[in-house]
A and B are shown apart, each in its own frame.
Chain A
Amino acid sequence: MTETYIARSTAIAARVLGGEMMVMSAVDSTFFTLNEVATVIWQAADGKTPLSTIVTNHVCAQFEVEPEAARRDAEQFVESLARHGILQVSDHPFENAPAAPGGSR
């Protein structure tokens, strides 16, 4: 099975505000806020870790969710953010890891 790798785009602004991630695309100024699960996926999107591992090690480990449902939701989330250019998706690991956004919690 082909693995999916995800990396945060460099053309975004992002910050954690009160436990919720805010993301804005510098390309089209689209603004998103991510829920807790999506924030976990976003923060783990280092371009090196396969999405399946992120789902298992981060999402399923931190939230009470069935692995299959978590995988499906994660794929939908990735597809949506990739459409707006704020997540990059590849079937190979990315060479340069993106910066991790900080912020208040």
Chain B
Amino acid sequence: MSLMQQMNQRAFDLGIPLGIHLDVTYRCNERCVHCYLDHDDHGELTTTEIKDILDQLAEAGTFFLTLSGGEVLMRRDFFDILEYARRLTFNVQIKTNGVMIGLPEAQRIRELGVEQVQISVYSHRPEVHDAITKLPGSLQKSIRAIRFLKSQGLNVVIANVMMTANMGDHMGVRALARELDVIYALDPTITPKMDGDLSILNLRIPGSELNAVFHNEDLVGNVAEFCAPPPPPDDDIMEAIPCSAGHTAAYITPYGDVFPCVQFPLPTGNLRQKRFLEIWRGSPALEEVRSIRAKDLPVCSTCSHVGSCTRCPGLAYVEGSMRGPSTADCEKSFHRTGIPSANMLRKARVGTAGPLVQIQPVMA
């Protein structure tokens, strides 16, 4: 077990929120077609409130802090918040579109000892990227920001969300990442809007494209290993927790709401009414999340993929039940291995999904 795995295990055993994702704003200078957020400001946390929350998180034992949005630099006090977070010795990762990052901002980020900066790039072609962000010139600005950040020796990741509008461009973005000497991360997940609107799920890539991604050696490494049939379920698999959400990780909105994860909008409390640890230790909703093991999932526990599926309990929750299947992950398991999930077979049996080869993501 690596040192990091040992630390995660210890945090799990002690019930410590090791990793927190804090969205400091939902405001944004881009209007990405697939974005799940409402960009209006409905009463964001003030600088003082955020600093108080950071104090509480440090006290609770949080080590990894992701500052994200919206666009983090839409907040004029962002560097004040970042400096405060670093003074509390969090390991900080920033997620941004980079449009507002010039050389001075890159230098400041470096001075403050940020671990990693993640920048969203949708295509290597301006006409595709800018059509997704709806901000003319945004690709050029994001690339310029990456160059500034790299010039400061910072660790940069290009996050490439894959959707119908850019699905032919991921190899181009990967080549761009290589040219810029940054890490490349591909994400084929489009999530429902936080208000429950499922319309943007139409942007999810079709199964055939997902299949091609999973069988691309450049992207997944050893294809035979990556696409191997799932291991037979054993007791360890059935006793496993679905993911770290609510166990060692949580998400905080710009309004102080605490959720188990950014993709898991289960209300557990608000930091304007309660202290973080009061919510973390006392929320019945979090207790319920923590009580769930793979064996407790009515459909997924019967599925051959139960030990290797990337099932997201948050997406399952949005789909109707935190104990239910996440259809998007069923799709991924199927296209990775060629073996249909229990959920797909069940739907096929009751005639809601039609022939397996036509199964598409929810609402597609």
Contact = CB atoms under 8 A, between A and B. Distances in A.
B16 A99 contact: no
Instruction: Provide the main secondary structure of the chain A interface.
Output: strand
Contacts of B91: 13, 24, 26
B259 to A, nearest CB: 21
A102 B58 contact: yes
Interface string B140-158: 0000000000000001000
B1 to A, nearest CB: 12
B114 interface: yes
A101 B87 CA distance: 9
B62 A26 contact: no
Nearest to A16: B61
A17 B14 contact: yes
Contacts of B128: none
Interface in A20-57: 20, 22, 24, 26, 29, 31-33
B42 interface: no
Contacts of A62: none
A32 B58 CA distance: 18
Interface residues of A, number: 22
B7 A22 contact: yes
Interface of B: 3-4, 6-7, 10-11, 13-14, 16, 18, 58-63, 86-92, 113-115, 155
30 contacts: A10-B86, A10-B113, A12-B89, A13-B89, A13-B90, A13-B92, A13-B115, A15-B63, A16-B61, A17-B14, A17-B16, A17-B61, A18-B10, A18-B14, A18-B16, A26-B91, A26-B114, A29-B115, A29-B155, A31-B3, A32-B3, A33-B3, A33-B6, A33-B7, A101-B89, A102-B88, A103-B59, A104-B14, A104-B59, A104-B61
